[in-house]
Amino acid sequence: MDDQLARLNRLPLRDDLRGQHPYGAPQLDVPIQLNVNENTHGVPEEVQEAIVDAVRSVASGLNRYPDREFTQLRTALAEYLGHGLVPEQLWAANGSNEVLQQILQAFGGPGRSALGFPPTYSMYPLLAAGTGTAYLKGVRADDFELTAGSAARQVRDLAPNVVFLCSPNNPTGTALGLDVVEAVYEAGEASQAVVIVDEAYAEFAHADTESALALLPGRTRLVVTRTMSKAFALAGARLGYLAAAPEVVDALRLVRLPYHLSAITQATALAALRHRESLMAEVEEIKHQRDRIVKELERMGLEPASSDSNFVFFSGLEDPQRIWKGLLDAGVIVRDVGIPGSLRVTAGTAYETTAFLTRLEELLAAEGRLPVA
Ligand SMILES: Cc1ncc(COP(=O)(O)O)c(C=O)c1O
């Protein structure tokens, strides 16, 4: 990596990109992959078939550019989200990462700033760097909570142009109350901050957790981002989207590349939306495995955070690196997010979750923390 950095530095690279590291979650060939919060339950066969049929039906027209406005997809997404949304309020791109990048291209950029509240999604600072936006690091309480009062005060003090609220938060998994979103929006009035609520994991939330979609009416600077990478098991297809005021969508048209959403992506997303029943059944099973992980980790004397997502962040480890390596040696990869005493694990299938829990318990027992199972 150092050699690579030295080589990069000999290039006429933008000064603000020097010394930056690319996104780099390990992509290892490991049997049980619980490290990047993918949907571990795979694409149901019925959905696979619908996608193949949909892609076949557009294949003969691939000599033409796709529908630049992806009207059919925006209509289907508006219908899926409900909340009285209309297609003019929907926008999509190649993953919510690209949606977030477009928001920064339009509302951030040189001389402007974006505020995030670490620990949070690791791409926010990278997207800020790529668009020449200054990234401001807000603070959370010691238990990673973010209250309405604290968040609003920081927004007033720092006067950012863009605010990232990740709910449920990655890597901690906990959702924000809508009071936080409301308070941040109000506090952002002075700097006219665009407030992004990143709801990548919304479908995994507990029944009483509300979506910020409910707050969209009357709030022109509020943007709610979603993705089909998680609940819809389509991380490989790359389809992220947002709901916001129609004028926000108009602003994004100024920065998107022409025809950025391929006909294949549009057809794939539409097919998955049409077959969402079987996908949502899998979501319920993933939530069950997540709740099982939380319960089992508590039993082992660890401290799992409350999770509204498809992953669990847990603390109370003496040596997380050793546990990470011990799990990897047994063919299970989880994520070390660099927070002392902690790791993050994605909810797997019943088999994968059992393998993770069993190996973890053995490793803790070897440390003398648990009676041997
Ligand atoms: C909080 C959060 N937002 C956005 C994304 C990006 O997802 P995608 O670009 O696949 O839609 C992720 C991916 O892990 C995430 O954790």
Domain 65-274 in this protein, CATH class: alpha beta
pLDDT of 128 reads 97
CA of 370 relative to ligand 1 center, distance in Å: 35
85 lines ligand 1 (CB under 6 A): no
Domain boundaries, the chain: 32-43+277-366, 65-274
235 lines ligand 1 (CB under 6 A): yes
CA of 225 relative to ligand 1 center, distance in Å: 9
pLDDT of 17 reads 87
All residue ranges of the chain with pLDDT < 50 are: 372-373
Strand pairing category for 240-243 and 90-93: antiparallel
Query: Using the 8-state DSSP alphabet, how is residue 326 labeled?
Result: H
What 3-state DSSP class applies to 261?
coil
Residue showing tokens 């490989």: 236
Sign, CA torsion 120/38/310/221: positive
| Token pair belonging to 368 | 């003398």
The string of pLDDT tens digits covering residues 322-356 is: 999 999 999 999 999 999 999 999 999 999 999 99
pLDDT of 24 reads 73
Q: Domain 32-43+277-366 belongs to what topology?
A: Aspartate Aminotransferase, domain 1 (3.90.1150)
pLDDT of 168 reads 97
What 3-state DSSP class applies to 327?
helix
pLDDT of 1 reads 58
pLDDT of 6 reads 84
240 lines ligand 1 (CB under 6 A): yes
- Best probe residue, ligand 1, of 94, 120, 123 (max atoms within 8 Å of C-beta): 123
Q: What is the pTM of this model?
A: 0.95
pLDDT of 372 reads 47
pLDDT of 19 reads 84
Give the separation between CA 338 and CA 284, rounded to whole angstroms: 30
